[in-house]
Every structure is written in C-alpha cells, then in structure tokens.
Amino acid sequence: MRARQPDRQGYTVREGVRLHWEVYGEGDQTVFLLPTWSIVDSRFWKCQIPYLARHSRVLAMDGRGNGLSDRPLGPAAYADEVFAADCLAVMDDTDTPSAGLVSLSNGARWALLMAAEHPQRVTSVVFLAPAVPLAPPFSEFRAATDAVFRDEHDEYVDWMKYNANYWLRDHRGFLEFFFARVFPEPHSTKQIEDCVGWGLQSTPEVLVATHDGQTLKAPRADELARLVACPVLVIHGDEDEIVSIENGAKLAELTGGRLLEMRGSGHGSHGRDPVAVNLALRDFLLPTPPQPPVHRRALRRPRRAILVSSPIGLGHARRDVAVARELRKLVPGLEIDWLAQDPVTRVLEAHGERIHPDSRKLASETRHIEQESSSHRLHIFEAFRRMDEILIANFMVFLEAVRERDYDVWIGDEAWEVDYFLHENPELKQAAYVWLTDIVAWMPMPGLGAREAALTADYNAEMIEQVERFPRVRDRAIFIGRPEDVIPGTFGPGLPEIRAWTERHYQFTDGYILGLDQKAVGDRKQLRRRLGYRDDEIVCIASVGGSGVGAELLGRLMRAYPAIRRRVPALRMVAVAGPRIDPSTLPSVRGVEVRPFVPDLDLHLAACDIALSQGGLSTTMELTAARRPFIYFPLKDHCEQNFHVRHRLDRYRAGRCMSFEEATPDNLAATIEALLAQPVDFVPLETGTAARAASMVAELL
C-alpha cells in the first residue's frame, strides 16, 4: 500500500508520447521530483513524497520508457533535450509556472538544461548523485563504458554487464547487478528488490535506446552549469559506485552551489538514507518554519511523554494504557501525548487519553496489513518489508511532533519506525527513549526456502548491529515477559543465540503486561450479570483482533455454531467483529450474536466460559490470566504467532492450538466440548507487571 495516494493524476501528450504525472498536496510552492533513467518510474521517490507533500505541492512523473508512460523506441526519443521538454510540458499541463527541482543521477542532466535555459521556471535545484557529464572525473568512466558498450564477450563479469548485448540477453541479471551497485550499503535488500521490480516494467530495448540517445556532453554541460543562477544543492554519497563524488563536487563548484557529502552512502541515498535526505530537501527547498513564540526554562516545564503504540493488534493499546496509568502514579502531573492511529485511538478515546493532533497525518499500517492478508494467511515478515514507505512516512510525522514540543521521554511500544530510524540517525535523539516489545527476532517460516531464511537473518543482523553500535539510543529496552519467554535458537547463521543476546540488551518485566488487573474484576458471577450473561448459559466469545485480517476465520467459527450447539446445547456464541470488520460482511447464523468494536473486550474474556481467538499474544495472555479455556488459530506464515506466541503459551500450558484447516465444525465442536469438561491447569500469570514496566520508565523522569 502506498503511504499517500496522489490528489490528482493524469497524462500529458507530447509529440504523440503519453507522460503520466501525479500531484500531491497543495501550496504556493511546488517541488518537482524529476524522472531519472527509464530503468525506474516515479515510485523511486516514495520515501520523499509523503513528507514533502505535507509542506508543499509535489509534482512527480514517470519518465518516458517506464511506469505508466509510453515506451517509444529509437535513440532520438530519449535525447536529453527530449526529457527536459517532457518535464516542461508536464509543468504546463499541471499549472506549475515554476518549481524547485529535485533530480537523481541521469535526471540531473534534464534539471541542468531546465535551470540553465528556462530560469524563469526553476526556483532552485537539488542534484542527487548527478550523472552530468562534466569534464574529468566523470568523462573517463563514461568513455570506458561507451567504448565496449556493444562488444560481444564470452562472459560478462562485473561492469562488463553494462553492455547492450548482455542487457538483451539477461535483462534481470543486469538489473540485479546494477542495483546492487546503486545500493552498496549493507542490508539494502529491499531497495534493490524494489528497483529490480521497477526495472522489469521496462525493456532492455528501451534501456539501449536511452544509452544511445544521450546528447549532453562534457563541454556543453560545463557551459550550462555556469549559467545556472538559482540556488543549488548537490547531495552525493562518497561510496557512490555509479558516479564519483568528485563529479558532484565539480557540479557544485560550477553552479556556485553547496555540496552535502553523504559519507558511507552510495548512489541511492534518497532510498537508503531517506531521513537525512528528506530533512536536507525541506531545509533547502521550503521556507523554514517559524520558531515557537515562547521559550520556557527547562526546569519549569511540565514533565511530558509521547507514547507511540503499534496499531497492529489492540493488545498493545490496552497494555500501554495500563503502563501509563501506573506511570502517572509514580510521576504526578505527567502529561502523556499519544501518537497513534485507528484502531488504537478507539481504545485510547474510551480511556480518556489525549491523542496528539499529528496522529491524523499517520499512514495506516493496519490497512496495509489487511491488504497483505488472504484466507487466514499473513506473511508478516514480507508485509513488514513492504511497509517500508509507510514506516518512513510515519517516522517523519513522529520527528516533527517531537521537534514541535518538548518531551522528557519518547516511548515506543513496538513502534518499529521510531526504533529503526533513530538507530539509523542517532543524532536526532533529543530525549530519553524507551523501547518495549514482546518479541525479538524475525524467524523464517518452514517451507518458504533459502530466500526467506537469508532475508530474515539479514534483518536480524542489521538490528543487532544497530543496537550494539549505538547502545545510547535505547535508554531502556524492555522485554514484556521473562527471559524464558524468548524463543530458543539463533538469529541466523553466524549470529548470536536469541535468548542470551536479549538478556544482555533488555530489562524484563517478569510477566506479561495486561490491560486488566484480574483482582479488579471482582466476583465473576457479578461481572457476568453486569455484562448481560446468564448463569445458566455457556458463553463463547469468538474474536479475531483489531484488524480485518481475521474476517475469514471469524466467519468459519460462526458457521460452526450449529454443530457446536448440538454437542453443547447451552452454548451462546458472541462474535466480536472488532473495529476493522464490517459486521454486514459476516455470515448470518441463527443464534450467533455479532457485536462490533467492544472497548472492554478484556472484561468479556474474563467473564466467558470459553474463547476462540486468532493467535495474537495480548488476547491469548488475557485469557491465560483469566484462566479461561480457549482455542487459538495462528495465521499461516505469521512467524510471530506460530513461533513467539506459541512458545510462550506452551510455557504457561495455556490454550489449544488449532490450524485453520483443522477448524471444521465437527472438530471445533468436539474440542470445545472436551475443553469445557476438563479443569484449567494454566501456570498462573505474574502480577504487577505494568507497575514494574512503569518504574523502569519513571527512572528516566
């Protein structure tokens, strides 16, 4: 799912070629994200668009040869002057009299032509890793590749793959080689994968034509650079393997611009270092936001916390509310702002918590997860990987929120974007930071092959490197549970043992954090009556969490009700659709009561006689604490539910695990009857865990 959809889109037709464009946001100033080599489309700006569009009008287009634009053949169709004319035509069609230009690599040539020859249309220019053919040093590399571009070879090794014959023979092979050089930074698997996918939208014939069509050469490029009168920023990585940083420095010199050297970065810093690039773009292209009119001495400020609660499952919200309640007891007067999104905000509103106004700017992680799921299946690791543009968009929202107001502590409950990008940009940390989680390590799903194993290990390795290189980022890393709740095994080949590593880097709450204190429930019979349940009925609660992922499971459980009722005549089934499932889409089963969002679901779980639940940890641990028998159904290919949750529930001897395929009406009926007939022997759940977690945070306040 995109982090932001275009507000307007369309086509410009120039000389018979359709050029697709998109407009985001609004404002007097426009930032025009230019196309680059036709090997990719405008999606390569996905990390920049949501952020910039909150502060200006943003225009992006697919260059001819890729995306939704046409793919003419022949070198003349891909001359540098043609691309520049395309960009100007799109500006005309979108009522863009002038704009600040942002270019990458080959796009720098077209930005240079526009800035030098149409200065009235260009207010400023950013050149990222500019592939402008200036006098040395660029020309030597280009001359070498051009000299052998059409040579036939017995084998193609390394840069010999920059060759027309190889492109036509093995298009994917070239893309995989080339983008591995674009992103030489370790752990760049997602960026490389994205670009290969975009590259496959085009053809090798188009790429050959783009190479042969380049018309801007060194002497003229130097002359054009000296003509640029608008402000210029050049951003260039010192480990760029495509265009040497000396070339970027030369362009900055000739244009009178400023060079921002990205040390340790390659050719695609906008994708691999998006936070730094986004901040540099805004600072250069857009007006500086006004300074706050009031300054308050630090010692006179109220104590404040901002809490980011993951929307993937409502259990995070309930346990975070419990921690916040205990934290206020320890730090009287503490103000807590919640940066959260639906459905978490529904729980927070029910508890009277204050939701940060910037929460409305967050891209929906829950909707993305729902779109990634199918038929009780959610490959959560791949869904997380494909959520990358949502995560960077939401981190930029978080960063603005904490810059606009003083906070003493930032708390992230599985706020993956906050944790990842703070470790990538530790210089941005300006308050104490607390990280909470109940899982550590991505695990490969059996049967999904070597690629899955390699990718999960790579993601684990990056996390380990971040934490060990910058231990100061996490002032508190809190694992919600005991050391024995951490799964056994290693993070991957050659990587540490998971439990031992976690014990070195985390503090433990010594138990799960519940949203409901079971002691506060009081008499269960009274609770049942208060919730509308009779003494003579057996209450079965069927719930599938705070997203729409469980709709198919909930429907299957409801359809099994007649078979269950035949075995257990007194059974009453209450199906909780939750905040993300439309009850009208569920099957109509006589005798099954369907309820939408239930903010006090934990009370209903404590009151029921048996529960049917998806494999989420929070709900199943609430049932464990209430000592209610339950069946849980882990989503297929969901490593957290199949490994981490199951490991913990086994330790508490809690619940009966059942696959989606096993959940036939007869099997469900027999299992429910058996569970109701036997005593619960769960290991008692620890108490006081929310208070222990709060005390760890309070130490920082």
- Each residue's pLDDT tens digit, 547-589: 788 899 999 999 999 999 999 999 999 999 988 889 999 999 9
Q: What integer is the mean pLDDT of 473-477? A: 98
Q: Is 479 helix (H, G, I), strand (E, B) or coil?
A: strand
The predicted pLDDT at position 508 comes to 98
- Report domain 8-139+210-285's class: alpha beta
pLDDT digits (tens, 9 = 90+) for 100-148: 999 999 999 999 999 999 999 999 999 999 999 987 656 566 677 778 8
The structure tokens listed for 129 are 């890793």
Domain ranges of the chain: 8-139+210-285, 298-514+692-698, 522-677
Q: What band does 517 get if pLDDT is binned at 50, 70 and 90?
A: confident
The predicted pLDDT at position 119 comes to 98
Q: Do domains 8-139+210-285 and 298-514+692-698 have the same CATH topology?
A: yes
The predicted pLDDT at position 546 comes to 72
Q: Comparing 138-142, 314-318, 347-351, which segment has the lowest mean pLDDT?
A: 138-142
**Cα-Cα end-to-end distance for the chain:** 38
pLDDT digits (tens, 9 = 90+) for 392-424: 999 999 999 999 999 999 999 999 999 999 999
The structure tokens listed for 68 are 């939704």
The predicted pLDDT at position 664 comes to 97
SS (H, E, C) 288-332: CCCCCCCCCCHHHCCCEEEEEECCCCCHHHHHHHHHHHHHHHHCC
Q: What band does 97 get if pLDDT is binned at 50, 70 and 90?
A: very high
Q: How many CA atoms lie within 13 A of 494 on its CB side?
A: 5
Q: What integer is the mean pLDDT of 44-48? A: 98
Query: Is the Cβ–Cβ distance between 511 and 689 less than 8 Å?
Result: yes
Query: For the domain bounded by 298-514+692-698, which CATH number is listed?
Result: 3.40.50.2000
> What is the distance between the alpha carbons of residues 517 and 514, in angstroms, rounded to a whole number?
7
Q: What integer is the mean pLDDT of 230-240? A: 97
pLDDT digits (tens, 9 = 90+) for 624-636: 999 999 999 999 9
User: Whole-prediction pTM value?
Assistant: 0.95
Q: Flag whether pLDDT at 463 surpasses 90.
A: yes
Sign for the CA dihedral angle at 552, 556, 561, 562 comes to positive
| Integer-rounded Cα radius of gyration of the chain | 28
pLDDT digits (tens, 9 = 90+) for 353-367: 999 999 999 999 999
pLDDT digits (tens, 9 = 90+) for 498-511: 999 999 999 999 99
Q: What integer is the mean pLDDT of 453-469? A: 98
> What is the distance between the alpha carbons of residues 472 and 426, in angstroms, rounded to a whole number?
9
The structure tokens listed for 445 are 């799903």
Strands 538-543 and 571-576: parallel
> How does the average pLDDT of the chain come out, rounded?
94
The percent of residues in the chain predicted with pLDDT above 70, rounded, is 99
The predicted pLDDT at position 389 comes to 97
The predicted pLDDT at position 2 comes to 95
Q: Flag whether pLDDT at 519 surpasses 80.
A: no
Q: Which residue has the higher pLDDT, 408 or 292?
A: 408
The predicted pLDDT at position 591 comes to 94
Q: Flag whether pLDDT at 243 surpasses 70.
A: yes
Per DSSP, the residues of 227-271 read H--S-EEEEEETT-SSS-HHHHHHHHHHHT-EEEEETT--S-HHH
> What is the distance between the alpha carbons of residues 318 and 310, in angstroms, rounded to a whole number?
11
pLDDT digits (tens, 9 = 90+) for 581-601: 899 999 999 999 999 988 888
CATH number (3.40.1410.10, 3.40.50.2000, 3.40.50.1980, 3.30.460.80) of 522-677 reads 3.40.50.2000
The predicted pLDDT at position 527 comes to 92
pLDDT digits (tens, 9 = 90+) for 159-218: 999 999 999 999 999 999 999 999 999 999 999 999 999 999 999 999 999 999 999 988
The predicted pLDDT at position 142 comes to 65
The predicted pLDDT at position 649 comes to 97
Q: Which residue has the higher pLDDT, 223 or 522?
A: 223
Q: What integer is the mean pLDDT of 456-464? A: 98
